Chain A
Amino acid sequence: MTGLDPLRLTARDAKRLLVDGEVSSAELTKVYLDQIAAVESKVRAYILVTTDNAAKYSTKVDREMQAMRGPLAGLPIAVKDNMVTEGVTTTCASRILHNYQPVYTATAVRQVWEDHVVMLGKTNLDEFAMGSSTENSAYQVTANPWDLSTVPGGSSGGSAAAVAAGEALWALGSDTGGSIRQPASLCGIVGLKPTYGAVSRYGLIAFASSLDQIGPLTRSVYDCALLLQHIVGRDPRDATSVDLPEPVALPSAERLDGLRVGVPAEYLSVGIEAGVRARFDETLARVEELGGTCVEISLPHTEYALPAYYIIAPAEASANLARFDGVRYGYRCADPEDLTDLYERTRGEGFGPEVKRRIMIGTYALSAGYYDAYYGRAQRVRTMVRRDFDAAFAGVDLIAAPTTPTVAFKAGSRTADPLAMYMSDICTIPANLAGLPAMSIPCGLSDGLPVGFQLIGPAFSENRMLEAAHALEQAIGFETAPTFRDTSTGSAAGWNPGGITYRPEDAQS
């Protein structure tokens, strides 16, 4: 069967076509592999496309349909390249893991593999998930399919761009300070960061362990819930994972009657672009049209969340990244003089500038004499941010805010100023600090680029959030697809931070 439009097809519809026998998994997989062949040279969403595996496995699912029947069987997916996959090179977009062949598979990925999804490949990211534009990858800069001269956001920019460009039906990403929601917003798709602990972090290459969560990037809210259903749950291999108090339900709400939505004044005073603000206000009006009420609330410590995050995340990263030392796996420098030289040069040559910057901040903040002033203080600010949310949720069911202050920005425009780049996550970071579930849905365009509407809920309120997002999605009716236009004015086109220098090995079993 042909005629499927990868820019518009949802997993829900693909699943129905599969179940009804109108399309085979091999045919469906080919739709995406063909789209990858057609647009990947412009988008560069994947670090590795596992073409042969995908073709073979989808055929196997078709052949053994009886044994492999399951809610996700035969549906193709893309996976962010910071989740380890046995037998498939996993680079974390870093030179230091250019040749890493994992000997096990991340729990969240294993869960969908056991449901017989077909993996299309591993998607690009900011190295070690540190960034907001996917420009920090050691391998390639991913372009936003809505305008190839702009960034897709980050760090899950490869996953978001792949879904938006029709190069994947849906994808897995990870979110430490907004890394699912911000790229989803910039690419005009749905992205959800679950409550901390809802999804196992086993096999997710650790960035900041107290903040990291894996979650779905999809074309619809229903798809988002469907994928979330299959990755949640307690995993004995991640002691911070927990079972949800209730299973994830597939949303169907059309109305928001009785729903109280809080709008934090502080999120609207951080330099929200006019076009973003306009779409946000229109969406609030829809909340009311659908029977909900919007009330202004205050989260007074919002302005301290970003400084606290930029201590806590780098501090945890500096400890987590100590394991990359050129001894057990990955890159090793040539001809080390002694063990210290091996460590220092391997890490100096293997890590990119942003990763080094964060290791430096983290090491500094944890070093003797500075711990109380930085890390200790940041942990206390984190408590204040949590208390703000607790107080707010005494009066409202959900909180609404723009996902990010601006639409997709030009590639290269923020790379010279780390702080300007960090500001991209000002609206998403507080939910990570408080461990709360949050998601972004597309709510319209500004200057032809997508705008995201963010919902934040109390811990484990995923179902409430998904129902509300579903009702809003139906009312908004966002159905526009990206055009792959390129508005670059010259120098920004194909901009590349350090030149595409290292290719990961294409080996896969």
Chain B
Amino acid sequence: MISEDDVRYVAKLARLRIEQDEAARMTGELASILAHIDKMSELDLADVPPTAHVLDVVNVTREDRERPSLPRDEALRNAPAVSDDCFRVPRMS
């Protein structure tokens, strides 16, 4: 059973600020969703391989050829803050 502390811990992992009342509400919602998901444990899947990709394509490579990349000013165009041709962020602490 997922607890409110679990919810806070997962939110931290996901870099998601959630408010006090949000954490409480989310605990209930996630608990009911996870209870439904636990239905999967009825199945014996020990000998079943996982499916990560549905098509039989492997090792798709492209030609190793130089192509122009996104120009710097284009890449920076949507940035909330820029300085010296770089994305600007606040200090790490």
Interface residue ranges, A against B (CB under 8 Å): 99-101, 103-104, 196-197, 210, 236, 239-240, 242, 301, 303-304, 306-308, 310-311, 318, 322, 325-332, 336-345, 347-349, 351, 356-357, 359-361, 363-364, 367, 373-374, 376-384, 386, 418-419, 422, 434-435, 459
The B28-67 residues at the A interface (CB cut-off 8 A) are: 29-30, 32-34, 36-43, 45, 48-55, 57, 60, 62
- Please, which residues of chain B bring their CB within 8 A of the CB of A196? 54-55
- Please, which residues of chain A bring their CB within 8 A of the CB of B17? 344-345, 347-349
- Which residue on chain B has the smallest CB distance to residue A423? B36
Evaluate contact between B26 and A360: CB separation under 8 angstroms: yes
Evaluate contact between B89 and A377: CB separation under 8 angstroms: no
Evaluate contact between A360 and B7: CB separation under 8 angstroms: yes
Report how far A326 CA is from B78 CA in the complex, Å: 10
Contact of B68 with A by CB under 8 A = no
Task: Please classify the interface of chain B as helix (H, G, I), strand (E, B), loop, or mixed, using the class held by over half of its residues.
Answer: loop
B71 vs chain A, min Cβ distance (A): 9
User: Please, how many residues of chain B have a CB less than 8 angstroms from a CB on the other chain?
Assistant: 53
Evaluate contact between B14 and A380: CB separation under 8 angstroms: no
Evaluate contact between B90 and A337: CB separation under 8 angstroms: yes
Evaluate contact between A240 and B10: CB separation under 8 angstroms: no
Evaluate contact between B78 and A381: CB separation under 8 angstroms: no
Which listed residue, A328, A340, A357, A379, touches B15 by the CB 8 Å rule?
Answer: A340
Report how far A345 CA is from B74 CA in the complex, Å: 26
* 13 more A-B residue pairs beyond the given contacts A104-B70, A363-B10, with a C-beta to C-beta distance below 8 A: A196-B54, A304-B42, A310-B33, A326-B80, A337-B93, A357-B29, A360-B11, A361-B30, A367-B10, A380-B49, A383-B51, A384-B43, A384-B45
Which listed residue, B14, B37, B75, touches A311 by the CB 8 Å rule?
Answer: B37
- Please, which residues of chain B bring their CB within 8 A of the CB of A308? 40
- Which residue on chain A has the smallest CB distance to residue B62? A236
A355 vs chain B, min Cβ distance (A): 10
A34 vs chain B, min Cβ distance (A): 34
Contact of B92 with A by CB under 8 A = yes
Report how far A310 CA is from B18 CA in the complex, Å: 21
A-B contact count (CB 8 A): 169
- Please, which residues of chain B bring their CB within 8 A of the CB of A359? 14, 16
Interface residue ranges, B against A (CB under 8 Å): 2, 6-7, 10-11, 13-19, 22, 26, 29-30, 32-34, 36-43, 45, 48-55, 57, 60, 62, 70, 74-75, 77-81, 87, 89-93
Report how far A336 CA is from B11 CA in the complex, Å: 18
- Please, which residues of chain A bring their CB within 8 A of the CB of B91? 338-339
B73 vs chain A, min Cβ distance (A): 10
B65 vs chain A, min Cβ distance (A): 10
Task: Please classify the interface of chain A as helix (H, G, I), strand (E, B), loop, or mixed, using the class held by over half of its residues.
Answer: helix
- Which residue on chain B has the smallest CB distance to residue A234? B60
Known: A304-B40, A347-B17, A383-B50. A364 touches B30 (CB 8 A): yes
B50 vs chain A, min Cβ distance (A): 3
Evaluate contact between B43 and A381: CB separation under 8 angstroms: yes
Evaluate contact between A386 and B54: CB separation under 8 angstroms: yes
- Please, which residues of chain A bring their CB within 8 A of the CB of B60? 239-240
- Please, which residues of chain B bring their CB within 8 A of the CB of A242? 55, 57
- Which residue on chain B has the smallest CB distance to residue A377? B40
Evaluate contact between B41 and A383: CB separation under 8 angstroms: no
- Please, which residues of chain A bring their CB within 8 A of the CB of B30? 357, 360-361, 364
Report how far A344 CA is from B36 CA in the complex, Å: 29
Known: A240-B55, A379-B52. A332 touches B45 (CB 8 A): no
- Which residue on chain B has the smallest CB distance to residue A335? B90
Report how far A240 CA is from B62 CA in the complex, Å: 12
Evaluate contact between B48 and A380: CB separation under 8 angstroms: yes
- Please, which residues of chain A bring their CB within 8 A of the CB of B19? 348
Evaluate contact between A344 and B81: CB separation under 8 angstroms: no
Evaluate contact between A328 and B16: CB separation under 8 angstroms: no
B32 vs chain A, min Cβ distance (A): 6
Q: Give the one of A239, A318, A364 with max B CB within 10 A.
A: A364
Evaluate contact between A339 and B90: CB separation under 8 angstroms: yes
- Please, which residues of chain A bring their CB within 8 A of the CB of B10? 360, 363-364, 367
Known: A101-B77, A347-B15, A364-B10. A210 touches B32 (CB 8 A): no
A336 vs chain B, min Cβ distance (A): 5
Evaluate contact between B43 and A351: CB separation under 8 angstroms: no
Which listed residue, A328, A338, A348, A422, touches B90 by the CB 8 Å rule?
Answer: A338
Report how far A373 CA is from B41 CA in the complex, Å: 8
Report how far A348 CA is from B91 CA in the complex, Å: 20
Evaluate contact between A327 and B16: CB separation under 8 angstroms: no
- Which residue on chain A has the smallest CB distance to residue B2? A364
Evaluate contact between B54 and A418: CB separation under 8 angstroms: no
Which listed residue, B7, B22, B54, touches A434 by the CB 8 Å rule?
Answer: B54
- Please, which residues of chain B bring their CB within 8 A of the CB of A318? 14
Evaluate contact between B39 and A303: CB separation under 8 angstroms: yes
- 19 A-B residue pairs with CB within 8 Å: A103-B75, A103-B77, A196-B54, A210-B52, A236-B62, A239-B60, A301-B43, A311-B40, A328-B75, A336-B90, A343-B15, A344-B15, A347-B15, A360-B7, A361-B30, A376-B50, A379-B50, A380-B50, A419-B32
The 10 closest A-B pairs by CB, nearest first: A435-B54, A348-B17, A379-B50, A329-B78, A332-B80, A344-B17, A380-B45, A338-B93, A382-B51, A343-B15
Report how far A329 CA is from B75 CA in the complex, Å: 9
B31 vs chain A, min Cβ distance (A): 11
Evaluate contact between A310 and B36: CB separation under 8 angstroms: yes
- Please, which residues of chain B bring their CB within 8 A of the CB of A330? 78, 80
